[in-house]
Structure 1
Amino acid sequence: MSTLDSDPPGAPDTIATYVFAVCRELDPAVLTALPGLTGNTPVRALRFGPLTAVVQHVEAALFTAEAWQERLSDEYELERCARAHHQVVSAAAACGPTVPLALATLYRGDERAGQALQEDADRFHTALRRIEGRVEWGVKVYAATAPPAPAAPPLAPAGGSGPGPGAGRAYLDRKRGLQRRREHQHDEALRTADTVDTALRALAAASRRLRTHGQESTGARGAQVLNAAYLVAADRTEEITGAVRSLRRLTGAHIEMSGPWVPYSFAGEV
C-alpha cells in the first residue's frame, strides 16, 4: 500500500489521482457504472504512452499518511476500499491483461501520475506480457485438527484413596504419545502440502508459496500448511480444477481452491 507522493511545486493540494491498474487497451464503457473509492467522481482511463491507467479523482485529505493509518485500523472501511479497488481492477481485466496497483496508490494530479507511470513503463510491459492469457488460482491446504489432550488424573480427596500409583506415569505416557502423534500428523500434513504444490506447479506458468495463516485465523479447518498462488493459462481451467479434485481424493486432505482471479500475486514480478 502507498499514499500520496511528494508534492511537486505548484501542485493542487485538494485533489489526488488514485490509480487502480494499468493495461494496454480498455473499453471506457466498462467503467461507467463503477463507484470506485468514493462514488463522487468518475472512474476513467488515463493514457500514458501506449498504455492506459485506470484512475479516479479523490480528495487528497482522505489519503494522507495519517488518514490512511486511521483507515487501516477500521476493518469495515479497509474492506470497503479493498472491495471497491478489486471491482475496478476486475472490470478492467475483462478487457485484457491488467496489472493491478497496490491499494492506495495516489499522485498529485493526472500529470504527475502520467509521469510516474511512464517512468515505470518497462516494468508494466514486462508484467503484461507475463500475465497475458493467464489467471491466478489460490490453493490452501489444512492439516487435520489435533486430537484433544488427555485428561489429568484426578486429585485424591482429603482422607480418601486417590488414583493408583501408576496413574501419573500413565498420564505422562499418554501425553508423550499424543505429542508424538501430533508431530507425525504435522509431518504428514507438510508432505501432503509438498505433494499438492508439486502437482499444481506442473500445470502453472509460475507459482508462489505465500505466508500461511495460524489456526486462530483458519478456525476449525485446522492448521494451514500451504497457502499458494498459481499462474495458469486461462484455457487450462479444467485441468487445474480436476487436479485439485484428484488430490483431495488421493491425500484425503482439506484443500481449498479459489479463483480464477486477476493475477495480483504475479503482476508485480518482472
Structure 2
Amino acid sequence: MSNLLYLYGLVPSHEATTTPLPSIKGFDHDSVIYSISLNDVTAYVCELDSDYYSEETISDKINNDMEWLQEKAFHHHETVQQLAKQYTIVPLKFCTLYKSEDSLKHTVESNKEKLKETFKLLEGNEEWNLKIYCNDEQLKKKVSESNASIEAKRQEISQLPPGRQFFEKKKIDELINQELENEKNLFCEEVHEKLKKISLFGSIKKNWSKDVTGRKEKMAWNSVFLLPTPNVEEFIEEIKLDEETYGIDGWDFEVSGPWPAYHFSSFT
C-alpha cells in the first residue's frame, strides 16, 4: 500500500519557486517536508506510513493519547507558522491526509478559482488575534457607583416604606450583575468595531474558559482580524492605548500575531 500524504499548506507556485524551502522534519520526525507543484499552486507535504497512520489509528490517538496529540498538534502549528513566515499560505487543519498525489491534485484543481481568490486576499495581509479579559469585581465596583439604571433603582427604593426597602435592596445585586454584563459586551463591541475600521475583516470567536486560559480573570471577548501589513503598527498602538486608558477599570488586552490565516482561508 502506498504512503499517505500529510498536507500542511498550499502556496502560490511563483512564491515557491523563488523562495527555497528550508529543511523541516515531517509529522513522524523521520520523513522530510517537500513540495508538490500543481500548476499555479504548490502543496507542502510529508509522506506517512499508511499502516501506522490509518484513519482508525489517528482517531484513537486523538481521543486517547493526550501526550501524542499535544506533540503532533504543536509540530503542525510550528511547521505552518514557519511556512507562513516565508509564503502566502492557505494553512490546512491538523491531520489533513490524502491517499495519493492524484487525489490531492484533483482537490486543488476542483478549487483552483477559490484558491486564486484566497491567495489574492491573503497576500500582503496578516491575521492577528485579540483577547480581552476583565476583572469582574473591579469593574463591578465602577458599575455599581456610576451606572444610571442602578442609581435610578436606588432612588426608587429609597422612596419605599422601610419594610419594602429590605426586600427590594436584594434585587440591586441582580441588577448590578446584569448591568456588568451589559457594560462588558458594549465595551468589547466598541473596541472591536474600532479595530475593524483599520482591518480588512474582523471576526468574533467563542470565549475560552478559565480552565483553558489558566487566568483568574474571565475572558470577555475573543476576536481575529485580517490586517494589511502596514496597518499592524496602528492596530497594536490602538490596543496599547485602550489598555492604558481602561486598565484601571479592570480591563486587560492580550494581542498576538501574526498567525497563519486559518480564519480567513477556509479550505477543505
The 1:247–1:119 alpha-carbon spacing in structure 2 relative to 1, beyond 3 Å, is: same
User: Matched residues in 2 for 1:90 and 1:214: separation?
Assistant: 25
Give the alignment partner of residue 88 of structure 1, picking from 69, 79, 100.
79
Contact 1:30 1:91 in 2 (8 A): no
Aligned to 1:256: 254
Q: What's the RMSD between the two structures over aligned residues? A: 2.4
Contact 2:207 2:222 in 1 (8 A): yes
Aligned to 1:63: 53
Aligned to 2:148: none
User: Matched residues in 1 for 2:54 and 2:171: separation?
Assistant: 54
The letter for the 1-side match of 2:224 is A
Aligned to 2:126: 135
Normalised to the residue count of structure 1, the TM-score between the two structures is 0.78
Aligned to 2:196: 201
Contact 2:19 2:86 in 1 (8 A): no
Contact 1:200 1:240 in 2 (8 A): yes
Aligned to 1:49: 39
The 1:137–1:67 alpha-carbon spacing in structure 2 relative to 1, beyond 3 Å, is: same
User: Matched residues in 1 for 2:169 and 2:36: separation?
Assistant: 67
The 1:248–1:81 alpha-carbon spacing in structure 2 relative to 1, beyond 3 Å, is: same
Superposed CA offset, 1:76-116 (max 9, x none) = 22222222112222232223211001111111122322222
Question: 5+ unaligned residues in a row in structure 1: which ranges?
Answer: 1-11, 148-168
Larger deviation, residues 19-28 vs 195-204: 19-28
Q: Residue 29 of structure 1: CA displacement?
A: 4.1
Question: 5+ unaligned residues in a row in structure 2: which ranges?
Answer: 139-164
Q: Residue 175 of structure 1: CA displacement?
A: 5.6
Superposed CA offset, 1:162-218 (max 9, x none) = xxxxxxx97x77764433322222221111111110111011011111111233433
The 1:176–1:76 alpha-carbon spacing in structure 2 relative to 1, beyond 3 Å, is: farther
Q: Residue 68 of structure 1: CA displacement?
A: 2.2
Superposed CA offset, 1:11-45 (max 9, x none) = x3x5101111000122674331x112112111000
The letter for the 1-side match of 2:253 is I
Q: What is the percent sequence identity of the aligned residues?
A: 19
Q: Residue 60 of structure 1: CA displacement?
A: 1.8
Give the alignment partner of residue 88 of structure 2, picking from 93, 97, 103.
97
Normalised to the residue count of structure 2, the TM-score between the two structures is 0.79
Secondary structure in 2 matching 1:72: helix
The 1:62–1:265 alpha-carbon spacing in structure 2 relative to 1, beyond 3 Å, is: farther
Aligned residues: 235
Report which of the two has the higher share of helix.
2
Secondary structure in 2 matching 1:213: coil
Aligned to 1:23: 11
Aligned to 1:38: 28
Contact 1:141 1:255 in 2 (8 A): yes
Superposed CA offset, 1:31-84 (max 9, x none) = 31x112112111000011111000000122343332222222233222222221
The letter for the 2-side match of 1:47 is S
The 1:174–1:36 alpha-carbon spacing in structure 2 relative to 1, beyond 3 Å, is: farther
Q: Where in structure 2 are the equivalents of 1:96-115 lying within 5 Å?
A: 96-115=87-106
Q: Residue 234 of structure 1: CA displacement?
A: 1.4
Give the alignment partner of residue 247 of structure 1, picking from 232, 242, 247.
242
